[in-house]
Structure formats: C-alpha cells, structure tokens
Structure 1
Amino acid sequence: MVLQPSASSNRSSSVGSVSSTAVSSLSATLISVADLARWVPLRLTPEERSLLDVLEQTLHVSEYTDHVDVTAAARRGGLKTRRILEGILECSNGSRTSWAGRDPVDNAALFQTMFEIGRRNKVLNPTSMRTTYGKLMYLLQDAQNPSVAKSLGFSLHKDMVLVQPYLEEHNCADLLQDSRLECAVQHIHDRDPVTGQRLDRAHVQAMVEGKRRVTDQLVETYSASGSLSPENVLRAIDSLADAVAYVESNVQPVQRMLQYLEDNFDPHRETPGFTLALGALEVMTAQLFPIRTAHNLSLSGKVMRICIVCGSVPTTTCFRPHKHTIYTILNCPRVRKVMHTLLHQTQQEAGAAWVGLSVVHLGDRDVPNALIFIDKYTQIPRFLNPIVGFLQSLPELCRDERIDAYVKEQFGSEHRLQMAVLADYFKHGFDGSGDDGGSCIDGRLTSSWNWTSRVAKKSYYNVLMLSGFQGFDGDFR
C-alpha cells in the first residue's frame, strides 16, 4: 500500500513522491501521514525507558493473574475486590522504590505515567512484553471496577501520548502536512518487495542518505517554528518511521508468499508432483486450494496493515467499568468493524467464491477481547518470515558444493526443494488442523501454528537448519 500524498505545503520540496506502507483507521484505504499520526504513539525517552524497565520487572514477578479469580469464592463479593486491590497495590509498591512508605495516592501521577509508558511501548513494539502485557491490561481493566477504584482512591488510566496531539500541543502540527515527511518516514528495503532479490548496495545507500537529508531539513525547520527542541522533532518523525517500518516488515512476507503462490500454483491446473489437494478424494477440486490459501494470505496482509491502529484501540476500549472476571468478554465493536470491513474487501477482490467459513472470532470464548485478537494476528510474521528467509537464502546456500550435492540428492534440484516447502505450507497451513481448529478464519490461522510445530519432522528440515533457522517464536521476554 502507498501513502496518499499529503496536502500541499508552502514548505514542500522537490524530493519527489516516495512509496511507503500505511494503514487506515477503519479500512485498508490510502491515507496520509497526518492520519496515521493520530494512532502512532510517541517514542520513549531514555527517562521513560528507565520507568519501563521498573514496570516490566515488577510485572514479571507479580502473581496478580494467579491470585485473582482462582477460586469460585474469589468471584463473589468483597473477596474478589480485595484480591484485585491487593494485587494492584503489590504492583504499585514494587514500582515505588524510593517512594516506599508513602500512600499510593501521593504517587498517582507516577503510576499513571508508568502504566501509560508500558501500553505505549507495547503498541510501538508489539513483539515485546509477551508475558507481562496481558497482566498489565487485566490489572488496568480491573482497576476500573467501581468498588476497586473507590478503595484505591485514584485512576490508573492515562491517555497514551500520540504523535499528532503531541505536535499540536507544541505548535508543530504543520509538520504533518509537509510533503517532505513522506520521504523522512519511508521504510527502505534491501530487497525488491516483489522478487525478493537483493537491491544494489549503492542504490540502497543513496536512499538512506536522501532520507537523512530530508529528515535534517524537517528538524531544522520545525524546531525553529514551534516550541519543540530538535531532539523532540526528530523523536516525532522517528515515531512515524517506526510505525511505517513495522507495518511494512509485517506486510512484506505476506506479499512475498502470495507471489510464490501465484508464480508456482495455478488454480486452473494441477502442478505436477506438488498438489495442494489434501487427499485422493479432493484431487478433482484441487483448484480450490490455491484460492483458499490466497484468500487467507490476502486477509492476513490487510490485518497487518492495520496492526498499529488495532494496537491502540484496546488501550482505551478495555478501560471501562465491568463486573466480570479479568478474562472479560468484550464485544470490541471498533476492532470488529475494522475486521469485517477488511474481510468484505478481501471477498470482493478475490474474484472467486470464498472457500470455507468467513467467521471471525472476537468477543467470544475463543477470542474474548481485542488484546487476544491482536496478539493472535501479530504472530503471523513470526512464521512467515522464517519461511520467506529460507526460500530467499537457497541460492546463496547452494553455492556450497556439499549442500548443493545434498539438495540434488534428496530433492532433485534447488527449485524442487523450494516447491516442496511451499506445497507443504500452502497445503497444511490453512487446512483447519490443530487443537480446536476448523474452517473458520481463526481455525485456519491456528493451522499455520500447528504446521510450525511439526516442521522438525519434515524432509527439508535438515536444509532449513543449515540456513541458520532457529525457530518460529523468538524470545518471550
């Protein structure tokens, strides 16, 4: 997706149009950088990172979610409220350090800021706080319970610091309408997004230098015209650049896999030796399986484009009074509306009947709230990136004569090895397999994780390991 050109500005330059990836707040339509800034949190300062470290360490050792709602008795009346309050105060006391011994109300602003920093960091870095963010969100959500809030004496909630309000507050909002900003926030790839081929190093370096020059111009212009220091103008620009880079890095592997599918599997005829049919009875309808895979990948690509927006939504919609357990089932109307819009667009663009169910689980037993929904979909790049990375590395890997000989002996050729990997993933990555899977959209996403859990048993696993593969999931901290 390409950023829609910003409104003309008297500070525009001859930089030229620059392609970048961005998302819309309600759909996958083109938007301006200014619209994206409404949803992007501001980068953390070094001081804020120090507070974040304290928060993370406190949440890591906290047993809040173990102590609240563990028994039926805890769900009744004052006992549950008392446990919630004790858990919140435990986290607060763990964060107080030199403020120990003072009443929590005295440090209300500190606690609000610290928890806001944690939420802001998670939206900016969705792969972080994997074991602690859910605990933080449930804690903040439970703090909105009227009984708990009254006993606590103050609210833990504080609106996130977003780029657009921050610039408006400091008389620098014109930055968002400057056409040069698109160049300053662009994400520079070292590979062609379609072919996957490495780009010329000199060309990439020239783009990096051009981006740096434009960024310096913007910092000089707007630090002089507003009330922000050069460091904070750069901070706002880098925050937008971080968002664009994150979205593109997530969308790129989905686009690459779609390209592999289109190049190697024709829905109108069988690919010799590499069928996507799941069994002998399905050979006659094998054309459905490339279509099924394309549907799911296309939808995944659209969800990746709105991940920053969806990441910001639950930090506000989850903070409303409730009377249920911490695992509250919320309807998530805003995220649900976005998802159904993207699903409808994908179905309209498909040019073929939708294969399987089009059910999206959100606000039910399987996906009880927006937090879990977003976490489920932001994991897509975790299994696609290693696949794409392996396939792109094959030519270089096979320059080693020993590896090349092994590949030819086991698979016949480098191309047949590539096809074996692709056919295996496209066949089983969306077949509804896995614990509590099915043909709904979420069930097929579960199938991809089920496929990753079995990769060690695949015939190509040895070559995968030789490429430097270390797993699909990464560090949970």
Structure 2
Amino acid sequence: MDEDHKLPATTKKADFDVGEWMEQRAKFIPLRLQLEERKYLRLLDAALNVTEYTDKTDDVNHVNKAKRTVIQIKELCAMLTGLVLACDYDRGQELFADRSFEENEDFFQTIFEIGRRHKIMNPEKMRTAYGKLMYLLSDAMIPDVQEMLGFNCVIPIKTVHSFLAERNGVKILHDDLVLLATHEIIPDGKTRPQIQTEIRRKEKAIETLSRKYQSRNLTADDIRHCLYSIGDNNSYLRANRDPCERILKYLEQYFDPEQPEEGYDLGIHAGAQGHRLSHDHATQYIYVKQTLQLWREILNDMFKLWTLADEDLLSTTNPYHLVQTGQGLHRVQACPLVSREMHRTLFRAQKKAGKWIGSSVIHLGDKNVPNSLMFIDKYNQVARILSPICITLDQLDQLAANEGLKRYLDKRFQGVAQCRKDILADFFRGAFDGSGADNFYDAGSCIDGRLTSAWNWCSQVESKLYFPVFLLTGFVGFDGGGWN
C-alpha cells in the first residue's frame, strides 16, 4: 500500500474547545495577501518611500493643518494613480477619467488596507513606510479633513474570520483537523523521513478540509488560503514568542532561584555598574522570570494588540496632539483599546507569577510611549533582542566541535557551559536593572522600562568579554543591519 494512505487523516483530539479557541484567534489573524494584492502593495510601498508627508505635516509652525493634510493626502493619491497608470493602463485611465478621488474610494481603501494587513504579518517590512501610512490615515480620519477630502480612506483589516464569515465558512475552524493543517513543521532534531511524513500529514489534512467544506461561496483554494494564513501566524509566534520561552528555560536550567552559584549571583545594587535597581539574587531571579513571562504573553497576543492599536490610531473620536516629548516632536494620542487589553495581559501574568516584583505602570499615550504605533514598534523589538542571544547560546556546542575554537572557549571561559552561564548572568543582571533612561520614572521597573533596560544592555554588548563569541556564531546586530 502507498505510504501516504497509511497516514492518519485526523489528529489527536484536543483537551479543550478547539473551535472556540481557533475562532477567537482567527478574528485577529490577517488574511495572507493574494498575488494581485502584492502588485498593489509594491505600488503603495514605492509611493510612501518617496513622499515626505510627515516632514511637511508634523510641523508646529503650520497653522491651517486641515487644509495642508488634505493636500498631502491628495498628492499621495495622485502619486498612486500615476503608478497604477504605469502598471495597468486601463485601470489608470479609469482613475484619471474625472480626476475625482471620491469616485475611486474603494480602490484607495483597498490599497491602504493591503499595506496595513501586510505589515501586521511581516513586522520586519515597511519599517519607514508604515509609519507614514498610519499617520496619513490618522489625519484622514479627522472629521474636518474627511469632509474636505470627500472620501473615507479606512476600512477594517481583512482577517481569516471575516473572510470565512462572509462566505458562511466559519464552521471549518471548529474542525479538530484544523490544528494539524495549520501547525508549523519544525525540522530541528528530526530525520528527513520524519519531516517528510509530517509534511504529508499536513498536506493531507489541508486537502481533507478543503474538500469537506468547499461550497458555492467558498472554494477549495479559499480554504487553503485561510489555512495558510493561520499557519503564517504560527510561524510568527515561533519566531517572536518562542525566544522568550527559550531564555526562560536557560534561566531555570542554569540558575537556582534561591541559592546562587559562586560567581553567578544575579543580585544587583543601584549605583553600581549603571544599575538603577537593588535586588538580591532571589528577587532578581523572580523579576527576570516574570518579565520574560510577561513578554511572552504580550507576543502571544500581538496580532490582537496590533489590531486594537490600529483602531486606536485611526479613531475619529480620539485626536492626537503634537508634543515635544524630549525625544523630538511626537503625536501623543490616547490608546484606550490597547491599554485595556494590556492591563488584562498584565493581570494574567501577575496571576501566574503569584508574587510581582517592581512597578505595574503601563506607559501609553504619554511622552514615553506617545501612541499605539510606538507601542507596537517597542514590543516588536523583543524578538530582535532575544533571538540573537538564543542563536549564540544554541550554537556554542557547534563552535566547540572545532578544535581551535574549543581551546579558545576553554582558555577564556573554562568551557562551553561556563561561557553560556557568563553570557546569561550578564544579560539577566544588566538587561533587567532599570537603566537606559534619563530619570527613574522613564525606566526603572515599570512595564515599559523593562524593555528600555534590555535595549540599553544591547547597546553595550560590543564592550563585553564574550562579544567575540557572538561574532563567531554569526551575530550581525540586534537590529539585523550588520555589524561594523
């Protein structure tokens, strides 16, 4: 019998309500872009990269901001129309027919929604263009501006749930087989036959669901597209949330929560080596552990938080104010939806931790985190900090396989295990010490300040004794831009 026919068509039944859990998740998972949509994404990205929208609009010297914003939006729309004309002559002719932007509302709503949706699924993309896009759309939602502009630029982000709901296909999310069809296949520690077997099982599950739930309104290709979109979310979680779990495992493996090993005491003292907090070993251990657990909770719900941040930023009833924050001129805007969800997330983390060390203040809509766009940008940095550390720690054993590098590690660090502990101990002490800001209120032990401290440690990594080890494992910087 063909080996593929021996593969099970269903997965083990989950011990929780898969349907309810998956349906709630799908409400915040953006739909993967189609091929046609990617063409318009390139047009949008090109237009945003050449515009100087924020430089011209966010200027306190201008007085009639509404008229100026309308001009900038129309200029961008005109630029997009010209690009469409160059790419698709017939479509461009339609947009140019009467030079009426109002009549092309659907087109601009679609192209702006594509940009927002793409960014959520690919946080590393459009790093400059996305900020321009969101500030432009935020201005476009101001009632006076919208009235002058004549059309609404914003529509809700397309999600897996909204796509299926429009086609009466939500029931597919309640099938236990959806777990097998959307899980990510991780090759680590597996043989090629094992990997191939998992791939076939996943493909079989996808085809089974596609045939079972296809209808007049929902094609098999539509179902596959939704399943792949959920799979993209699982890939995001592995790349962004899982580094938190890996560092937590290292913390528990190499450090005792009560009795420190000689030379690896995690205790810190304010005023010494730049530390801003004073914790003994046991307190610092708990502080580090609960911070990593909080970051894990935040990143696990990042798509939901991003969707709420999008709504906060584009609200018609939530105006922003240009304010000198001490770090330049910023748009300070309240974040009610993100704040509410963040407090829920913090409460869950505190409940799991039992004992909470440090402040519970969440900075949102103030000079530390001016708006929800800055909030999203800040927590996108967690994986950029932790992933390079995990890669270095994981590859130490491979380094030691080289006789020359093994001698180096033995001479400088007394072996791989000691080198790993040296890196971890310095990270747990220096990246969680309340440093990194001009005053205690801006950093310290508050929720936002914990990440500020971690970035401060990153800025000093080249001065560390173990920095050559980072370079030997392929380290190119915490922001992925290379190292000079």
Separation in 2, partners of 1:439, 1:332: 21
1:350 equivalent in structure 2: 353
Q: What residue ranges of structure 2 are gaps of 5+ in the alignment? A: 1-7, 86-91, 323-329
1:171 equivalent in structure 2: 168
2:263 equivalent in structure 1: 273
1:204 equivalent in structure 2: 195
- Counterpart of 2:79 (choices 84, 94, 97) is 94
Q: Which letter maps to 2:220?
A: P
- Counterpart of 2:362 (choices 360, 363, 382) is 360
- Counterpart of 2:69 (choices 84, 87, 110) is 84
- Counterpart of 2:221 (choices 227, 231, 235) is 231
Separation in 1, partners of 2:348, 2:381: 22
How has the CA–CA distance of structure 1 residues 284 and 360 changed in structure 2, closer, same or farther, with 3 Å as cutoff? closer
Separation in 2, partners of 1:135, 1:325: 17
2:325 equivalent in structure 1: none
| Conserved? CA contact 2:400–2:406, under 8 Å | yes
Separation in 2, partners of 1:19, 1:456: 47
Provide Cα deviations, 1:10-58, integer angstroms capped at 9, x if missing partner.
xx964224799x9xxxxxxx96212211111111111100101110111
Separation in 2, partners of 1:31, 1:255: 25
Segment drifting more, 272-281 vs 234-243: 272-281
Percent identical: 36
1:190 matched to 2:180: no
Residue pairs, 1:111-190, within 5 angstroms: 111-190=108-187
Q: Which letter maps to 1:359?
A: V
Residue pairs, 1:226-375, within 5 angstroms: 226-279=216-269, 285-321=280-316, 323-325=319-321, 327-352=330-355, 354-375=356-377
Separation in 1, partners of 2:352, 2:168: 42
Q: What residue ranges of structure 1 are gaps of 5+ in the alignment? A: 1-11, 23-29, 192-197
How has the CA–CA distance of structure 1 residues 217 and 366 changed in structure 2, closer, same or farther, with 3 Å as cutoff? same
How has the CA–CA distance of structure 1 residues 465 and 457 changed in structure 2, closer, same or farther, with 3 Å as cutoff? same
| Conserved? CA contact 1:69–1:325, under 8 Å | no
1:403 equivalent in structure 2: 405
TM-score (norm 1): 0.88
1:474 matched to 2:480: yes
Separation in 1, partners of 2:354, 2:29: 34
| Conserved? CA contact 2:461–2:467, under 8 Å | yes
Separation in 2, partners of 1:355, 1:32: 31
Provide Cα deviations, 1:290-309, integer angstroms capped at 9, x if missing partner.
11101110100000110011
Separation in 1, partners of 2:81, 2:14: 47
How has the CA–CA distance of structure 1 residues 110 and 475 changed in structure 2, closer, same or farther, with 3 Å as cutoff? farther
Deviation at 1:218, TM superposition (A): 1.3
| Conserved? CA contact 1:171–1:226, under 8 Å | no
TM-score (norm 2): 0.86
| RMSD across aligned positions (CA) | 2.4
Q: Which letter maps to 2:148?
A: S
1:221 matched to 2:212: yes
1:49 matched to 2:22: no
| Conserved? CA contact 2:161–2:170, under 8 Å | yes
Q: Which letter maps to 1:351?
A: G
How has the CA–CA distance of structure 1 residues 323 and 380 changed in structure 2, closer, same or farther, with 3 Å as cutoff? closer
Separation in 2, partners of 1:383, 1:275: 23
| Conserved? CA contact 1:361–1:442, under 8 Å | yes
2:47 equivalent in structure 1: 58
1:15 matched to 2:15: no
Separation in 1, partners of 2:320, 2:375: 19
Q: Which letter maps to 1:447?
A: S
Residue pairs, 1:412-431, within 5 angstroms: 412-431=414-433
Provide Cα deviations, 1:132-175, integer angstroms capped at 9, x if missing partner.
11111111111111221111111101122111121122232221
| Conserved? CA contact 2:320–2:333, under 8 Å | no
- Counterpart of 2:462 (choices 456, 459, 463) is 456
| Conserved? CA contact 2:268–2:279, under 8 Å | no
Separation in 2, partners of 1:51, 1:106: 18
Residue pairs, 1:66-81, within 5 angstroms: 66-72=55-61, 74=62, 76=63, 79-81=64-66
| Conserved? CA contact 2:290–2:353, under 8 Å | yes
Separation in 1, partners of 2:248, 2:36: 43
Segment drifting more, 158-167 vs 376-385: 158-167
Q: Which letter maps to 1:455?
A: V
Provide Cα deviations, 1:102-128, integer angstroms capped at 9, x if missing partner.
222232211111001011111222222
Q: Give the match's secondary structure for 1:32.
A: helix
How has the CA–CA distance of structure 1 residues 284 and 149 changed in structure 2, closer, same or farther, with 3 Å as cutoff? closer
| Conserved? CA contact 2:30–2:157, under 8 Å | yes
| Conserved? CA contact 2:333–2:371, under 8 Å | yes
2:326 equivalent in structure 1: none
Provide Cα deviations, 1:170-198, integer angstroms capped at 9, x if missing partner.
2322211211111111122334xxxxxx3
Q: Give the match's secondary structure for 2:395.
A: helix
Separation in 1, partners of 2:149, 2:469: 57
